[in-house]
Amino acid sequence: MKLLTLFAFCSLFAVRAFAGEPVYTVDCNGGGDFRTVQECFDALPSKPDGWRTVRILPGTYREKVTLDVYKDCVRIVGVGGPERVRIVWNDHSGKVVDGYEMTTYDTWTMSLQADDVVLEGVTVENDAGRVGQAVALETRGDRICIDGCRLVGDQDTFFTKGYVSRVYVTDSWIEGTTDFIFGPSIVLFDRCRIHGKADSFLTAASTTERNRYGYVFRDCRVTVAEGVTRLYLGRPWKSTARTVWIRCELPAAIRPEGWRDWHDSARKGDVFYAEFGCFGPGADRSGRVAWSRALTDDEAAAYTPEQIFARKTGSEAFRSDWLPVAPLPEKGRGAGAQQ
């Protein structure tokens, strides 16, 4: 195995790599330590003493990839950015493999199950098409950062599956059709592009009743494909769903009512749907459903990483506070949201 030396870098966790930390290179053309991402992940030691970096060289990696629950402290970097590094698969709900019919929970292209993971400059795509639920990225671990990536799919693109999970997404592109950001995790999206490809719902949070935060979008931009005219900010997958949009640009395709129920009036009782300081033709709140709200200045001020990712956000299972910090710019790293 080729072990390269990193003299210094700053990750989203403010973890610095020193000389001697291992760096693994994946190259589908044969010029690295491994030809596939999964081979590299399988070779990573479990329960490590320190951080490791996985460099993925340019290419399209057609594979289904799992980072196992014990493979913590990994920084996964797409060399050249998401335009040049793609991980693609095509599983979908209803697909039969070896006699087994898949459900949503089986369909991911990449599953990040470990804690303390950074994913930078990579496209993760499910190209099954409009055939039902087809997850591109699934996250289960705690303290996961996604920066400058592209998450591409149709229905159910990004599954934030972990119940004891905090995820920070920055400067990334996320596209899909129905409920394409969904799940129970606590997730902060900063400066992301959320791209709707069909008349449907952007989010379907299933926040647990223990958590004070669910999905928080700050300074994001919502865009739509040609012909999309009926889009909703979210609907509750669970009756305790929490979703907040802060200072986001909303297009005319956002319906005046803004939010939808899930065909069950009881679900409206405990949901927390709110907006603050949004702008654009879809930001007018005068026609919003009565069970959504506008945050006050004081309420909006509490939506910071320090508050959102604190240990005492409601779930007793978090072991500590977590404060991710923005990465240093890297030459050649593509910005997923700037497209």
The mean pLDDT value of the chain amounts to: 90
Distance CA 108, CA 290 (A): 36
Distance CA 221, CA 247 (A): 9
pTM attached to this predicted model: 0.91
Instruction: Say if CB 315 and CB 210 are below 8 A apart.
Output: yes
Residue 262's pLDDT band (cuts 50, 70, 90): confident
Stretch 82-97: mean pLDDT: 96
12 has a pLDDT exceeding 90: no
118: Cβ contacts below 8 Å, ≥ 6 apart: 11, 12, 13, 74, 75, 76, 144, 145, 146, 147
pLDDT tens, position by position, 43-75: 999 999 899 999 999 999 999 999 999 999 999
94 has a pLDDT exceeding 70: yes
245 has a pLDDT exceeding 80: yes
Instruction: Say if CB 302 and CB 276 are below 8 A apart.
Output: no
pLDDT for residue 338: 57
Helix (H, G, I), strand (E, B) or coil at 198: coil
Instruction: Say if CB 23 and CB 4 are below 8 A apart.
Output: yes
226 has a pLDDT exceeding 70: yes
Residue 17's pLDDT band (cuts 50, 70, 90): very low
| Phi, psi values for residue 144, rounded to 5° | -110, 130
Local structure of residue 123 (DSSP, 8 states) = E
How many other C-beta atoms lie within 10 A of the C-beta of residue 317? Answer: 10
pLDDT tens, position by position, 134-143: 999 999 999 9
Beta bridge partners of 124: 87, 151
Please identify every residue annotated as catalytic.
179
Pairing of the two strands 221-224 and 193-196: parallel
Stretch 260-282: mean pLDDT: 86
List the domains of the chain with CATH numbers.
54-308 (2.160.20.10)
Token output for 61: 């990696």
Distance CA 49, CA 174 (A): 33
Residue 270's pLDDT band (cuts 50, 70, 90): confident
Q: Identify which of 276, 239, 231, 279 has the alpha carbon closest to the alpha carbon of residue 257.
A: 231
Show the DSSP H helices in 24-84 as ranges.
37-43
Pairing of the two strands 52-56 and 74-78: parallel
Pairwise pLDDT comparison (2 vs 251), residue with the higher score: 251
Q: Identify which of 79, 80, 82 has the alpha carbon closest to the alpha carbon of residue 110.
A: 82
Pairwise pLDDT comparison (264 vs 118), residue with the higher score: 118
- Calculate the CA 85 to chain-centre distance: 17
What element of type H or E holds 218?
A: strand 215-218
193 has a pLDDT exceeding 70: yes
